[in-house]
Amino acid sequence: MVTEPRSAPVVGVLALQGGVSEHGDVLEQLGARVVLVRRESDFAGADGPRIDALVLPGGESSAQDRLLRLFDMAEGLRSIITEGLPTLGTCAGLVLLSREVRDAAPSQRSLDVLDVAVRRNALGPQLVSHEVDIAVDAAEVIGRQDGRVRAALIRAPEVLSVGIGARAICRVDGRVLGATTAAPGGDSDAGPERDTDGRIGARDARRRLGTVTGIAFHPELTGDAAFHRALLAQVR
């Protein structure tokens, strides 16, 4: 998105609330330059986008939504994302990206840039948080655990429906916990095809991430950088 050449990709991390530093640490370890996004001028100016990619971290989605509107950032973020900025949302970030929040807090809105409907805190309270290895239906996302991504589920949301503009990329116990934008005319809400041992099948492993990806879990908390690498690959 940024036209001038840079020695390192510039990745904005929304820094209004939630788990900001963990994402920043992973991205910096991968060689990115991190910009903390607290106002519109951090990600866009008169000359266009000032970042090459964007991360929306976990936290409290309704609080992040209120702050986005309070600081007059929501429309600017929606615009830059829909124009093609590579974007990753984790947990609350998935909720912010979604088309619809089925159990929204009073007056809560979303950015409506990923064609999914979600339910907040679907996987239970903080006390049932746990780690899990997740198979991901995306060619660029190769995790550390036999190709699976090691991730933390903390008051995780769930994708309840996937529209024609998106496709599911991962499931845990039959629940869709991640989706990405789908190319026009391509696969949309078809779920990952798996071998008998649960691995992603060869046909689906060739499919790639869209520019907007939302996941219900936290790979940044376990140190698995697979999604962050995939985000940077969309820049490079």
Q: How far apart are CA 10 and CA 232, in angstroms?
A: 9
Q: Catalytic site residue 218?
A: yes
Q: Catalytic site residue 91?
A: yes
Catalytic residue among 158, 170, 220, 228: 220
User: Rounded to whole angstroms, what are the CA distances from 157 to 21, 117, 146, 223?
Assistant: 21, 10, 25, 21
Q: Catalytic site residue 220?
A: yes
Q: Where are the alpha helices (DSSP H) in the chain?
A: 20-29, 61-70, 74-82, 92-97, 202-205, 226-235
Catalytic residue among 22, 23, 91, 158: 91
Structure tokens of 18? 């939630």
Structural contact between residues 80 and 86, judged by C-beta atoms closer than 8 angstroms: no
Structure tokens of 57? 């971290």
Catalytic residue among 158, 170, 218, 228: 218
Q: Which residues contact 70 (CB under 8 A, 6 or more apart)?
A: none
Which residue numbers are catalytic?
A: 91, 218, 220
